[in-house]
Chain A
């Protein structure tokens, strides 16, 4: 191998073979660690989902929902109310109007509630936008279940188009007692931005 240079005095064949072996092993470590860096990506998602970290949600499938909801409805906890706050943010210069129809709502855990959000495209181009949710405190995220949400898919807005979008959710009655307020934030992203800036 040319990388190993000419054979020098004091550098006998055995040493050179050992060097080649060591190099092979260390290169394998390097390749492995490069892969590990990428493996951290799915690992991160799995850990966040399992522990409900980082304000991530567990989105239920339709059939699961129906069953789950009937069970939850039976267990509506009328002994306490939780205040839900709605926050709306626009990402980077998105010329857009976006707000919740009401800033807060008080709900009993287990009760299915529907609220509306309003959005208007103020530009003269068609925008495909995506809302990204986040829940604070993070550990409350797994108790906040959405049944219907405009954030489940891309929202296409024609130039100047305005519309109301529903969010249907319930708070799991198992929510720890100490949680009195849950903040739900939505950030609207222009999904074309990346392509436009390229």
Chain B
């Protein structure tokens, strides 16, 4: 970088940076802050639900908490964390000096805080905080309920900005992967994480515009007199659900595919074997991505579809189990007869495989039309998607942190604290979410602040688990800060049998890497 002038320091370094490592760090910190914000909302929810009856917050505030918790975790925590990992890792993994479009990269990050502010701002409108006017219609913002919400424009524009950010980030990732690979790095030699992100990025550019479209329709329905979803003018609220879930179903794979990639990187390292069935992993990922576009109506089995439609969506949904099972089988087969060691990243990765599979199985149950009529909109659904999103996506993100943080900072994580973090999280997350299967099957609806006393015992335990899980993530914050500040120095290789270009550079990774592309054999 001969022409590169002195790097700016202080706040301007972060505001104007076009460096993929800086931007990756920004994304990861942003998502961590959002995780804590969304997490504290979950604490409010669990406090209210700890005992039957109304005790902590009023119902509208409770609904606002469930809504904002969902939106913040999906769009603020999981997705930006995955993009942060992509920014940090993809150029280092494919031997590129930076992302393909560095200035757009800066934009796609700095739109996010603005979007987050727009999203939470309505909570602070009105007399006092508790009577806040934030969205309270559930994170799926079904019409016609959401159309009656006063500050809809805040929500719509926040979603627009989030969409812009994701789309720009995805275009950047696609351009980087397709054009910036080191000589010799053919597509089928790319690390699994890169593959999963390439496919995720295509999903993003395909469905985020549909989300932007559907919120635009809501906006014009409310403020400009159109009637897309307003039955009085000839519109149809059920159509909202179709368009929303056309976005919404691929969205859940957007959140999990990069997690698959992370786990596919970690398990071979600590099993000291090559990833079993690399090619089948790639094809399975692509198959999951394709299937995600044709199963959306399994979220709405109870709207009154004809039997033929229900059968089609049931069969198509259950079909997704096939490529997903291929992946779980491959991870297991990679560990089979491997020289396993259980470093912290490996613990999180194994926990991921085990508990994501639990979430997958409950997904199969929900995908069966006749039984879905019982499970629909109960805590069983809540338990299902928290198993795939918390013990799935979030666990993979934490695994990725422990796996790559020695490369990012040059320091190893504190060994004892991180063990406590893992075991506390693992036990508490199961105490938190497993009982929700039982109360869901017993008929407790989701999104309610009060419930029949028969659900009291399991809700109590669920809340206890929730508080411990929340506290464990404060410990995670301590670990992150401690690791950045110091700790045992990491070697360049870090892990004995880690493979990939990112382990050939120094630890911590220099500000500029692969200015001269490496040769890949």
Contacts and interface: CB of A to CB of B under 8 A. Distances in A.
26 contacts: A4-B100, A4-B104, A5-B18, A5-B103, A6-B3, A8-B515, A9-B516, A10-B516, A10-B517, A22-B179, A23-B175, A27-B171, A29-B205, A29-B206, A30-B209, A33-B210, A34-B213, A40-B243, A44-B236, A51-B306, A53-B305, A130-B232, A189-B231, A189-B232, A193-B232, A194-B232
B188 interface: no
Given A3-B101, A44-B236, A33 B242 contact: no
B369 to A, nearest CB: 15
Interface size class, chain A: 35 or more
B39 interface: no
Interface of B: 1-3, 18, 96-98, 100-104, 107, 148, 167, 170-171, 174-175, 178-180, 205-214, 217, 222-223, 225, 228, 230-233, 236, 238-239, 242-243, 246, 304-306, 309, 514-517
A139 interface: yes
A26 interface: yes
Contacts of A196: none
Contacts of B304: 54-55, 136-138
Given A26-B174, A91-B232, A4 B103 contact: yes
Contacts of B97: 8-11
Contacts of A15: 100, 179-180
Q: Binding site of A, secondary structure by majority: helix, strand, loop or mixed?
A: helix
A53 B148 CA distance: 27
Interface in A173-198: 187, 189-191, 193-195, 197-198
A26 B232 contact: no
Contacts of B211: 37
Contacts of A36: 209-210
Given A40-B242, A51-B306, A189-B231, A19 B236 contact: no
Nearest to B514: A10
Interface in A87-102: 91-92
Interface string A48-63: 0001011100000000
Contact of A22 (B102, B175, B232): B175
A41 B223 CA distance: 19
Interface in A75-130: 91-92, 130
Nearest to B97: A10
Contacts of A26: 170-171, 174-175, 205
Q: Binding site of B, secondary structure by majority: helix, strand, loop or mixed?
A: helix
Contacts of B231: 91, 132, 187, 189
Contacts of A5: 18, 101-103
Contacts of B2: 9
Nearest to B206: A33
Contact of B243 (A37, A53, A55, A137): A37
A138 B1 CA distance: 67
A34 B101 contact: no
Contact of A37 (B96, B171, B210, B230): B210
Given A23-B101, A29-B206, A41-B228, 19 more contacts: A4-B100, A5-B101, A10-B514, A11-B180, A22-B100, A33-B206, A33-B208, A33-B209, A33-B210, A37-B212, A38-B217, A40-B239, A44-B236, A54-B238, A92-B148, A137-B304, A138-B304, A189-B231, A194-B225
Residue from A11, A92, A197 whose CB has the most chain B CB atoms within 10 Å? A11
B230 A194 contact: yes
A34 B103 CA distance: 24
> When A and B form their complex, which 9 residue pairs have the shortest distance between CB atoms, in order from nearest?
A37-B213, A189-B232, A34-B209, A37-B210, A33-B209, A18-B179, A5-B102, A22-B175, A19-B100
Contacts of B171: 22-23, 26-27, 30
A30 B167 contact: yes
B206 A3 contact: no
A40 B246 contact: yes
B205 A30 contact: yes
Nearest to A4: B101
Contacts of A55: 304
A19 to B, nearest CB: 5
A53 B304 CA distance: 9
A17 to B, nearest CB: 9
Nearest to A195: B225
A111 B167 CA distance: 57
A149 to B, nearest CB: 15
B104 A3 contact: yes
Contacts of A195: 225
Nearest to A38: B213
A133 B416 CA distance: 65
B179 A8 contact: no
A137 B304 CA distance: 8
A8 B98 contact: yes
A53 B228 contact: no
Contact of B242 (A3, A44, A91): A44
A164 B213 CA distance: 42
Given A18-B179, A22-B174, A132 B209 contact: no
A32 B148 CA distance: 30
A144 to B, nearest CB: 15
